[in-house]
Amino acid sequence: MQQIARIATVSPKGQPDLVPVALEFDGEYFWVGSHDERPRKYKNVKSGNKLVAITIDDVQSFHPWKGRQVRVYGTAEILDHTGKIGPGKYLRITPKVSWSFGLEKGQELKIVKTVH
- Written as tens digits, the pLDDT of the chain (116 aa) is 567 899 999 999 999 999 999 899 999 999 998 766 688 999 999 999 999 999 998 888 888 877 888 999 999 999 999 998 889 999 999 999 999 988 877 666 788 899 99
Residue-level pLDDT at 56 = 92
| Residue 107: predicted pLDDT | 66
Amino acid present at 96: K
Note the pLDDT of residue 1: 56
pTM for this prediction:
0.86
Residue 89 CB contacts under 8 Å (≥ 6 apart), including other chains: 33, 34, 36, 37, 42, 78, 79, 80, 81
CA–CA separation, 46 vs 59, rounded Å? 34
The CA distance from 52 to 92, in Å, is 11
- Structural domain count, the chain: 1
Q: Which domain holds residue 32?
A: 4-115
Which contacts of 16-23 are long-range, i.e. CB under 8 A and separated by 24 or more positions? 17/41, 17/44, 22/84, 22/85, 23/54, 23/56
Give the CATH number for residue 94: 2.30.110.10
Task: Report residue 12: phi and psi, to 5°.
Answer: -60, -25
